[in-house]
C-alpha cells in the first residue's frame, strides 16, 4: 500500500454576494447536514464548499475526490432541485429516474422529413420511445444513497448539502466493496470513482474516472447556479492507481468497429441498412465519404428521449438515423452509422450528405433536464477527433445545432427542428473544444460574435410546459432581437415563417446564438444592430456586460448594381452538371434575399453538389458536382447559401 498524502483542497477565501435567485436556490443549504448546522462563520457564498468538507470528513472520502466527481457530474450546479435528462439530482447527480424520466422523442413528431430529399418519400413511423420495465442501477443511485445515509429521498433531491453527503456515502461504499481502505490519498480512489459513474462496462467507467482525475490535476474554481463559490485546488502530479479497475468486475466491450478517439468510451450499435419493400429501405445510405464528397459539418442534436428508448429507435429500419448517440450519465458514446455513409438526421439532404450527426440525451424545452459535464466532455472529444480527421473547422458555421440547419424550400421552413435549443451551453462546449469565442477585432471591426455570460443571461422563454406560460428562469446562450434599439420595439419577424414572432422556446424568429457571427449594421448606446434575415436587428450589448465581442472577418454583399440577391437552403449544382440517369434537382431560392448594402458573415466557398442515393442498391448512386460556386453565410438563426457569382467578398468594417 502506498504512503498516503494529505488532501490539499482548502476552503476558498473568495466571497461573492448572492443574487436574489441564488438566495432562493441556496435556501435549502440552511438545513442541517447530518444533524450539524454549518459553522456560523461560513459566509453564504461558502456553504456548498463547507458541505463538501463536512461530507468528506463524515464518510472519510478525500474532499478533492468528492469535488472532482461532483464537477464532472454537474459543475457543482444544483439546478434548484430539478432533475437531469437521466433523472439525476443535485451537485452529485444522484439518480432517481422513477420520478423524473420522460418518454417522448422528437424523432417521432412526424413534422420534418429527417432525410430532407424529395427523391424519396419521407419516413414518419408512428412510434414512441418505449418505457423500460426495469431501470439499470445507474439510474437508481439516489435511493441507494438514502439507504446509506438515512436521509430522505426528498432531502437528497432538494437539499444540495444532503445530496453531497449522499454522493460521499456512495463513494465510500464503492471503496469498501473493492476491499480498499478509506484512504486520505486521492490516488487510491480510482476504482470507486469508476464505479460511481454507474457504467456497466470497464471502458466507460475508465473514461469517466480519467476525466475526474484530469479535473483533479488541473483544479477548478467556479460560482455555481446558486451563487456558491467552489474551489478545487490543482494537483498536477496526481497519478491514480488505475489497476483497481480490474477488480470492479465490469464487462469488457469491444470498440473494434467504432470511429472514436481513444479518450472516450464508444460501442458499436449499428443502424440497419435493410430493404423492406420494393421502393423502401432504411435507415441510411451507403457511401464512400470523404472520397466521393467531403464532410463539412457536424450537427449537434438532442434526443428528446431517453437512452434505451432512443437506441431502440435507431435500430428500427423503418425509422431515421444519425451517426452517434451520447449518454448523459457517463458520456458513453454509441456509434450507429459509419462516417463514410450518410445518416438521415438533419432534415436537409445537402447537409445530411455532408455532415455527421450527434444525438445527445436531453430535452430542449426543459431547461433543468440538464446536460452533464461528462456528456459535454465526451462530445467535445468526439467532435475534436472528427474535425481533425475530416478537416472540419471548429466554428459555428461548421459545428451546427440542428436549429441552425436551413429549410430546403419555402414549404419546409416551418417544419425544421429547433434542438438542441436555448439551454445548450455553446460557450462552455467550445471551451472544451479548445476554441473559445474570443474578441479578435479592432474598434472598427465590422463583425460581432455573440457571447453572453451563460449563467447571467436569462431571457424569458415561454411554452416549456404550457403554451404562453413562462419557462423557469435559467441561463441561456441565446440573445433576443428587436426591430429597434430597445425592448419596447417589436421582435424581429421571420418572413419565411409568416407568423408573428413570440418568446416561445421553439420560436427562432428573433434569436441569435452564442458563437454565431453577424455583420454590424449600427450602434445606439447599449444596443448593437446586425444584418439578420434581410433586416436590421437590434440586441442589447452594454459595455459593462456585453453580449457580443468584436470580431475580424469576411462578409458577402451583393455585387455592385444588384438591388438584391437570392438566398438558398442548399447548394445544388446547375442543371447542366447532371449526368444521364440522375434527375435534375431544382435550384430553388428561399423566400429571403440579401439586399444592397447588407453584409453577412462568410463560412465556406463550396461547389454545387448533390448526392443521388434514392435506391437500395448502390450501383445507381452518384455524387454530382457542378461548376457554380456558393458561399455559406450566417443569414438568420440558421445558415444559408448564396451564389458566389451574385456577391462580392470583402473585409467587414464599421
Task: Write out pLDDT tens, residues 50-98.
Answer: 999 999 999 999 999 999 999 999 999 998 888 887 888 999 999 987 7
What is the number of alpha carbons within 13 Å of residue 162 lying toward its C-beta? Answer: 26
Q: What is the DSSP string of 220-249?
A: EEEE-TTS-EEEE---TT----GGGGGGG-
Q: Domain check: are 508 and 607 in the same one?
A: no
Closest by CA position to 422, among listed 368, 342, 487, 489? 368
Q: Domain check: are 397 and 304 in the same one?
A: yes
Report the pLDDT value the prediction gives residue 44, as an integer from 0 to 100. 59
Residue 286 in domain: yes
Tally of structural domains, the chain: 4
Residue 612 in domain: yes
Q: Domain check: are 410 and 452 in the same one?
A: no
Query: In which domain, by residue range, is 543 found?
Result: 441-552
Q: Domain check: are 536 and 465 in the same one?
A: yes
Q: Domain check: are 185 and 52 in the same one?
A: yes
Q: Domain holding 37: CATH number?
A: 1.10.530
Buried b (16+ CB within 10 A) or exposed e, 524-563: eebbbbbbbbbbbbbbbbeeeebbbbbbebbbbbbeeeee
Report the pLDDT value the prediction gives residue 252, as an integer from 0 to 100. 82
Alpha carbon 402 to its chain's center: 10
Domain end among 214, 229, 248 = 248
What is the number of alpha carbons within 13 Å of residue 3 lying toward its C-beta? Answer: 0
Report the pLDDT value the prediction gives residue 119, as an integer from 0 to 100. 67
**Distant-in-sequence, close-in-space partners of 261: CB < 8 Å, separation ≥ 6:** 381, 382, 384, 385
Burial class of 134 by CB neighbour count within 10 A (0 to 12, 13 to 18, 19+): exposed
List the grid coordinates of 63: 474532499
How many Å apart are CA 514 and CA 415, to the nearest integer? 23
Residue 110 in domain: no
**Distant-in-sequence, close-in-space partners of 590: CB < 8 Å, separation ≥ 6:** 406, 407, 409, 410, 413, 496, 566, 567, 568, 569, 640
Q: Domain check: are 199 and 262 in the same one?
A: no
Q: Domain holding 525: CATH number?
A: 2.30.30
Report the pLDDT value the prediction gives residue 14, as an integer from 0 to 100. 28
**Distant-in-sequence, close-in-space partners of 247: CB < 8 Å, separation ≥ 6:** 178, 179, 191
**Distant-in-sequence, close-in-space partners of 495: CB < 8 Å, separation ≥ 6:** 533, 534, 591, 592
Residue 510 in domain: yes
Structure confidence by residue, pLDDT tens digits, 562-620: 999 999 999 999 999 999 999 999 999 999 999 999 999 999 999 999 999 999 999 99
Q: Domain check: are 85 and 178 in the same one?
A: yes
Q: Domain check: are 531 and 574 in the same one?
A: no
Domain end among 248, 274, 295 = 248
Q: Domain check: are 80 and 183 in the same one?
A: yes
Block residue for cell numbers 408512428: 126
Closest by CA position to 509, among listed 523, 522, 528, 490? 490
Report the pLDDT value the prediction gives residue 367, as an integer from 0 to 100. 59
Parts of the chain with a pLDDT under 50: 1-42, 102-110, 124-133
Q: Domain check: are 340 and 262 in the same one?
A: yes
Residue 543 in domain: yes
Q: Domain check: are 610 and 642 in the same one?
A: yes
Residue 119 in domain: no
Report the pLDDT value the prediction gives residue 472, as an integer from 0 to 100. 87
Q: Domain check: are 529 and 506 in the same one?
A: yes
Domain end among 225, 248, 271 = 248
Report the pLDDT value the prediction gives residue 115, as an integer from 0 to 100. 73
Residue 185 in domain: yes
- The helix-helix angle for 202-218 and 373-390 (nearest 10°) equals 100
Q: Domain holding 413: CATH number?
A: 3.40.80.10
Residue 427 in domain: no
List the grid coordinates of 76: 457543482
Block residue for cell numbers 420560436: 507
- The helix-helix angle for 47-59 and 63-74 (nearest 10°) equals 120
Alpha carbon 237 to its chain's center: 31
The overall pTM is greater than 0.95? no
Closest by CA position to 344, among listed 318, 364, 311? 318
Report the pLDDT value the prediction gives residue 108, as an integer from 0 to 100. 44
- 478, 451 in Cβ contact below 8 A? no
How would you write 169-180 as a 3-class SS string? HHHHHHHHHCCC
Residue 549 pairs with which residues in a beta bridge?
449
Amino acid at each position: 500500500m502506498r504512503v498516503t498524502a494529505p488532501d490539499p483542497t482548502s476552503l476558498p477565501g473568495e466571497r461573492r454576494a448572492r443574487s436574489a435567485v441564488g438566495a432562493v436556490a441556496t435556501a435549502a443549504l440552511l438545513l442541517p447536514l447530518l444533524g450539524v448546522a454549518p459553522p456560523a462563520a461560513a459566509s453564504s457564498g461558502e456553504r456548498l464548499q463547507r458541505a463538501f468538507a463536512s461530507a468528506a470528513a463524515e464518510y472519510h472520502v478525500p474532499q478533492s475526490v468528492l469535488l472532482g466527481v461532483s464537477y464532472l457530474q454537474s459543475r457543482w450546479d444544483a439546478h434548484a432541485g430539478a432533475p437531469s435528462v437521466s433523472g439525476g439530482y443535485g451537485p452529485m447527480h444522484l439518480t432517481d429516474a422513477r420520478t423524473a424520466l420522460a418518454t417522448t422523442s422528437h424523432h417521432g413528431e412526424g413534422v420534418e422529413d429527417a432525410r430532407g430529399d424529395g427523391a424519396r418519400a419521407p419516413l414518419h413511423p408512428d412510434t414512441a420511445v418505449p418505457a423500460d420495465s426495469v431501470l439499470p442501477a445507474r439510474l437508481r443511485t439516489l435511493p441507494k444513497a438514502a439507504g446509506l445515509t438515512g436521509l430522505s429521498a426528498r432531502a437528497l433531491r432538494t437539499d444540495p448539502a444532503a445530496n453531497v453527503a449522499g454522493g460521499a456515502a456512495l463513494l465510500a461504499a464503492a471503496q469498501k466493496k473493492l476491499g480498499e481502505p478509506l484512504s486520505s490519498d486521492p490516488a487510491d480512489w480510482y476504482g470507486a470513482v469508476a464505479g460511481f459513474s454507474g457504467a456497466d462496462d470497464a471502458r466507460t467507467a475508465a473514461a469517466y474516472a480519467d476525466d475526474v482525475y484530469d479535473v483533479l490535476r488541473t483544479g477548478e474554481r467556479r460560482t455555481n447556479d446558486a451563487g456558491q463559490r467552489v474551489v478545487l485546488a490543482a494537483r498536477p502530479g496526481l497519478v491514480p492507481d488505475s489497476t483497481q479497475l480490474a477488480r470492479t468486475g465490469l464487462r469488457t466491450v469491444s470498440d473494434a468497429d467504432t470511429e472514436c478517439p481513444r479518450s472516450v468510451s464508444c460501442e458499436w450499435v449499428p443502424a440497419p441498412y435493410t430493404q423492406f419493400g420494393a421502393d423502401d429501405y432504411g435507415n441510411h445510405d451507403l457511401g464512400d465519404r470523404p472520397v466521393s464528397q467531403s464532410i463539412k459539418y457536424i450537427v449537434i442534436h438532442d434526443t428528446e428521449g431517453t437512452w434505451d428508448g432512443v437506441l431502440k429507435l435507431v435500430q428500427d429500419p423503418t425509422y431515421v438515423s444519425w451517426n452517434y448517440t451520447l449518454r448523459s450519465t457517463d458520456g458513453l458514446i454509441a456509434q450507429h452509422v459509419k462516417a463514410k455513409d450518410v445518416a438521415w438526421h438533419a432534415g436537409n439532404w445537402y447537409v445530411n450528405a455532408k455532415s455527421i450527426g450527434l444525438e445527445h440525451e436531453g430535452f430542449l424545452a426543459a431547461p433543468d433536464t440538464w446536460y452533464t459535464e461528462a456528456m459535454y466532455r465526451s462530445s467535445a472529444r468526439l467532435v475534436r477527433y472528427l474535425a481533425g480527421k475530416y478537416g472540419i473547422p471548429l466554428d459555428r458555421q461548421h459545428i451546427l445545432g440542428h436549429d441552425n440547419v436551413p429549410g430546403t424550400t419555402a414549404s419546409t421552413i416551418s417544419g425544421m427542428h429547433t434542438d438542441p435549443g436555448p439551454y445548450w451551453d455553446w460557450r462552455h462546449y467550445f471551451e472544451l473544444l479548445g476554441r473559445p469565442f474570443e474578441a479578435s477585432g479592432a474598434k472598427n471591426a465590422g463583425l460581432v460574435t455573440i457571447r453572453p455570460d451563460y449563467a447571467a443571461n436569462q431571457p424569458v422563454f415561454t411554452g416549456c410546459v404550457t403554451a404562453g406560460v413562462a419557462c423557469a428562469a435559467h441561463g441561456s446562450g441565446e440573445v433576443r432581437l428587436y426591430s429597434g434599439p430597445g425592448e419596447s420595439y417589436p421582435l424581429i419577424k421571420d418572413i419565411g415563417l409568416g407568423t408573428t414572432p413570440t418568446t416561445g422556446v421553439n420560436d427562432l424568429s428573433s434569436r441569435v446564438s452564442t458563437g454565431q457571427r453577424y455583420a454590424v449594421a449600427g450602434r445606439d448606446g447599449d444596443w448593437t444592430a446586425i444584418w439578420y434575415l434581410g433586416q436590421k436587428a437590434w440586441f442589447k450589448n452594454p459595455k459593462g456586460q456585453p453580449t457580443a465581442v468584436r470580431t475580424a472577418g469576411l462578409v458577402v454583399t451583393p455585387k455592385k448594381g444588384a438591388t438584391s440577391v437570392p438566398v438558398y437552403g442548399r447548394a445544388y449544382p446547375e442543371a447542366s452538371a447532371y449526368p444521364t440517369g440522375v434527375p435534375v434537382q431544382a435550384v430553388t431560392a428561399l423566400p429571403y434575399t440579401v439586399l444592397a448594402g447588407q453584409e453577412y458573415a462568410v463560412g465556406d466557398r463550396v461547389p454545387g453538389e448533390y448526392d443521388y442515393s434514392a435506391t437500395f442498391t448502390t450501383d445507381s448512386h452518384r455524387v454530382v458536382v457542378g461548376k457554380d460556386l456558393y458561399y455559406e453565410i450566417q443569414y438568420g438563426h440558421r445558415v444559408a447559401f448564396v451564389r458566389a457569382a451574385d456577391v462580392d467578398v470583402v473585409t467587414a468594417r464599421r
